[in-house]
Chains A and B, each alone.
Chain A
Amino acid sequence: MAARALIHVPKTAKKGEVIELRAMISHRMETGQRQGVNGEAIPRDIINRLTCTYEGVEVFSAELFPAVSANPFVSFYTVAVQSGVIVFTWIDDAGAKQVATAEITVS
């Protein structure tokens, strides 16, 4: 099943306003510490990085470890500097990327 992401970016903001951004993605965040029903080790498989760019400039990133909950959720802030695109990128242990974008209008 494809990963699904839910992001929250205000549609509009005043220039200089500090806005909250939220990002959540579907991922089981397999810790690598569990066993399957037959005792076999379930290999680690997590999202290990989230980055956020604002009109191409990285404004935030996070490194995630297995202790982050399944379907990882992160909230943080940024300054609304100009109208443009905000891009969230999640990277998993296999190097696969998931991307979600939102536009913001700044006046």
Chain B
Amino acid sequence: MAPREMTATLPAVRISRRSFVAGSAAGLFIMSLPRIAVARPSLDEALVGFSGGKPINDGRVKLDIPPLLENGNAVSVTVDVESPMTISDHVRRIAIFNEHNPQADVIVFNLGPRTGRARVATRIRLATSQTVVAIAELTDGTFWSSRASVIVTLAACIEE
């Protein structure tokens, strides 16, 4: 389902929110109109950049993000990584990357044995419907990741 075509279930019509507010606020909506179309690395390039080219495994990482978002300006994300978080065996870093924002990076968390539990949460901006990835680097040098696709609906009734 395309983001701008989200249903409007006022009985029997489909109204895209964009046509409801026809272009108002377009210039101000965050990241929806990048000023300069800078070339950004693809999602996979960003991930490879983070792992330094090491293979990235599926698993161990749980990425919790609502599949259908009410607003892309503040999306609650939680990442949980299976790890004993001991001195010799813990998660070093957790990062979040996106597919379609102007920049691939979202946030990098630096953890250590004193973290106790490899669970972090934050709120992020998603310009449009896309894939989001959480990736973790462990002390043994392995990388693990998990991905989720999200649909962003935009708010109705905004200002000019």
A residues contacting B by CB (< 8 A) are 18-19, 31, 33-35, 37, 41, 54, 57, 59-70, 72-79, 81
Contact = CB atoms under 8 A, between A and B. Distances in A.
Contacts of A57: 114
B30 interface: yes
Given A31-B102, A59-B114, A68 B119 contact: no
24 contacts: A18-B116, A18-B117, A31-B31, A31-B102, A33-B35, A35-B35, A60-B111, A60-B114, A62-B108, A62-B110, A65-B105, A65-B106, A67-B98, A67-B125, A68-B107, A73-B122, A74-B122, A75-B120, A75-B121, A76-B120, A77-B116, A77-B119, A78-B115, A81-B114
Interface of B: 27-28, 30-31, 33-35, 73-75, 98, 101-103, 105-112, 114-117, 119-126
A34 B101 CA distance: 13
B106 A67 contact: yes
Contact of B35 (A41, A64, A66): A41
Contacts of A73: 121-123
A61 to B, nearest CB: 5
Contacts of A59: 112, 114-115
A67 B115 contact: no
B66 to A, nearest CB: 14
Given A31-B31, A41-B35, A70-B74, A63 B123 contact: no
A73 B107 CA distance: 11
A45 to B, nearest CB: 14
Of listed A54, A62, A66, A67, residue having the most chain B CB within 10 A: A67
Of listed B103, B119, B123, residue having the most chain A CB within 10 A: B123
A74 B108 CA distance: 11
B145 to A, nearest CB: 17
B116 A67 contact: no
Nearest to B118: A77
Contact of A31 (B30, B111, B123): B30
A99 B115 CA distance: 20
Contacts of A35: 27, 33, 35
Contacts of B102: 31, 33, 66
A62 B123 contact: no
A79 B116 contact: yes
Contact of A72 (B111, B112, B114, B122): B122
